[in-house]
Amino acid sequence: MAVPKVCGTETEYGVVLRGAPDPNPVLASSVLINSYVEQRKVGWDFDDESPGRDARGYAREGTQAPEIETHLVNTVLTNGARYYVDHAHPEYSTPECADALELVLADKAGERVLARSMQAASRVLEPGQSIVVYKNNSDGKGNSYGCHENYLVDRAVPFATLVRHLLPWFATRQVFTGAGKVGSENGAAPVPYQISQRADFFEEEVGLETTLKRPIVNTRDEPHADPQLYRRLHVIAGDANLCEVATFLKVGATAVILAMIEDDFIDAASGTRKEWSLAGPVAAMRTVSHDPTCRATIELADGSRMTAVELQWEFLRLAQKYADETGLAACGESVGDEVLSRWESVLSALERDPRSLDGQLDWVTKLGLLEAYLERDALSWDDPKLSLLDLQYHDVRPERSLYERLVRAGKVERLVDEADVRNAITEPPGSTRAYFRGTCLARWPESVVAANWDSLILDIGGDPLKRIPMMEPLRGTRAHVGPLFDTVNTPAELVARLTS
């Protein structure tokens, strides 16, 4: 049986410090996060981190837990998220969510956290200075930063099996995950506009790197859970989405694919292995991204050719069969059904007229805006104004974000209520261990010495610090520990009850 698809996103935001003579993005990111964290900061515990561990079964020479650089901010929020400086970007890792709809909410709450951070930072910066962040993946000059996804996956599935199915999956899902980009980068053929912000940056099929020679399938093996039972698939081949429909489908459909792989449904159902392998997955990433008509074909290993949408239909038909025969319990039963129905309507629309997805998918929505300007102002595609519109679409400040303008004009479909988003800025999802983490932080911020995905360290006074392992992502939920929290008043009582 497929394991529940506990999932999250990890978004690096573009960051600019304006008005400073020598702007330092690391400093700007630190100021941003520090300004937001009004309550006492809880440090991140790096004990279980090993980003050099490879899912193919070996550790890179010299790999060790990253050094804790004390000047780099690294904090945990009461909603269970991790908010920190990664390289030269503020990064927001959502709390673990139980399904794609919860993740849409958590991901959107992350945008609001960044918006509030900018406001908070404006109060501590020098007059005339401001920090601005963008939820995109490229500066248009060859520098890319990621929006990663993570999914809980059964350790029993051979990694090679995941790779085999995920290469065609990632290359073709771009038709709905793309955030749209003016131009091309990193040596890719020139195009006026392309579907994905990221496609130009993938150079390998499989690998451990995330910053150089980026692989389509990333092998980072940090389960942040019982390593005997689980992997945590780390996906780097996706765009940062603002459209909720795009995030929903990106995560929801990928979760369904992973569940099918775990249940050995794809191979067993159709013997499709041969037909679906791509002749050149890296080239296919670009081919798909560079064609906003969605008509370009990519070559399969058997020499035949299909469009990305046609290949997506194959995946969807299998997923529908899987839902009928097995159910979608691993993806949240009703949410899984919503994913399949949205997936079908989006593929139908892509086939008929991709422009009809204006307001659902980022790349189409942005393209609509750009073309409106092209026409009104009689611009050509190389006009810097179009690059500005592209960039400012992703501006996270509500008053400057062009995406937000389109939302306010009623041109973008939303899947979650803004009241729920506001709530998710401080409240953890109740469906995963994020509930335990977030609730401890909210109730006893002074006692939580450190936290990470799979443990929490409490100072309950007197005794040595208490480390509470949280190796099972679906324990520590509201249903599981809510009653316990109702009956304890101090962290010491909590520890006593947990260890009794």
Partner 1 sequence: MAEQQRRQRPAPKERVEETEELPASTERGEKLKGELDDLLDEIDEVLEENAEDFVKSYVQKGGE
Measured from the CB atom, is 221 or 262 closer to partner 1? Answer: 221
Measured from the CB atom, is 143 or 426 closer to partner 1? Answer: 143
Contact with partner 1 (CB under 8 A) among 129, 161, 210, 326: 210
388 scored as a contact of partner 1 (CB under 8 A): yes
371 scored as a contact of partner 1 (CB under 8 A): yes
Three-state DSSP state, 363: helix
399 scored as a contact of partner 1 (CB under 8 A): yes
Residue type, 438: G
In the residue annotation, 86 being an active-site residue is answered as yes
Contact with partner 1 (CB under 8 A) among 128, 376, 462, 483: 376
> What are the angstrom distances between the C-alpha of 391 and each of 177, 179, 386?
17, 11, 9
x/- map, 82-111, partner 1, by CB under 8 A: ----xxxx-x--------------------
Q: Is 174 exposed, middle or buried (0-12, 13-18, 19+ CB in 10 A)?
A: buried
State in angstroms the smallest separation of the CB of 161 from partner 1. 25
State in angstroms the smallest separation of the CB of 319 from partner 1. 28
* Distance from C-alpha of 173 to C-alpha of 171, rounded to nearest angstrom: 6
> What are the angstrom distances between the C-alpha of 401 and each of 39, 347, 360, 388, 434?
28, 28, 17, 12, 30
Determine contact, residues 284/171, Cβ cutoff 8 Å.
yes
* Distance from C-alpha of 392 to C-alpha of 102, rounded to nearest angstrom: 27
Query: Please, where are the H alpha helices in 235-332?
Result: 244-262, 265-270, 273-276, 281-289, 308-326
444 scored as a contact of partner 1 (CB under 8 A): no
State in angstroms the smallest separation of the CB of 146 from partner 1. 4
Contact with partner 1 (CB under 8 A) among 2, 7, 15, 175: 15
The string over 96-132, giving b where at least 16 C-beta atoms fall within 10 Å of a residue's C-beta and e elsewhere, is bbbbbbbbbbbbbbbbbbbbebbebbeeebeeebbbb
State in angstroms the smallest separation of the CB of 411 from partner 1. 8
Q: What are phi and psi of 108, to 5 degrees?
A: -70, -40
Measured from the CB atom, is 410 or 483 closer to partner 1? Answer: 410
State in angstroms the smallest separation of the CB of 415 from partner 1. 22
236 scored as a contact of partner 1 (CB under 8 A): yes
Instruction: Identify the active-site residue in 45, 86, 263, 291.
Output: 86
Determine contact, residues 183/387, Cβ cutoff 8 Å.
yes
Contact with partner 1 (CB under 8 A) among 20, 25, 299, 310: 25
188 scored as a contact of partner 1 (CB under 8 A): no
Of 266, 220, 246, 61, nearest to 135 (Cα)?
246
Contact with partner 1 (CB under 8 A) among 305, 355, 475, 497: 355
> What are the angstrom distances between the C-alpha of 242 and each of 135, 160, 402, 460?
8, 32, 11, 41
Q: How far is CA 1 from the centre of its chain?
A: 25
Select the span of 10-18, 238-246, 254-262, 316-324 touching partner 1 (CB under 8 A).
10-18
Contact with partner 1 (CB under 8 A) among 141, 187, 271, 419: 141
Select the span of 145-153, 169-177, 342-350, 418-426 touching partner 1 (CB under 8 A).
145-153
296 scored as a contact of partner 1 (CB under 8 A): no
What is the tally of helices (H) and strands (E) in the chain?
16, 18
Q: Within the chain, what is the greatest distance between any pair of CA atoms? A: 73
* Distance from C-alpha of 492 to C-alpha of 497, rounded to nearest angstrom: 9
Handedness of CA 195, 197, 201, 202 (dihedral sign): negative
x/- map, 251-290, partner 1, by CB under 8 A: ----------------------------------------
Contact with partner 1 (CB under 8 A) among 216, 331, 402, 457: 402
Contact with partner 1 (CB under 8 A) among 4, 80, 146, 429: 146
Contact with partner 1 (CB under 8 A) among 8, 14, 215, 332: 14
480 scored as a contact of partner 1 (CB under 8 A): no
Of 460, 445, 454, 451, nearest to 493 (Cα)?
460
State in angstroms the smallest separation of the CB of 107 from partner 1. 17
Active-site residue set? 86
Contact footprint for partner 1 (CB under 8 A): 12, 14-16, 25, 86-89, 91, 134, 138-141, 143-146, 148, 192-193, 210-211, 214, 236, 292-293, 354-355, 368-369, 371-376, 378, 383-385, 387-389, 391-392, 399-400, 402, 405-406, 409, 411
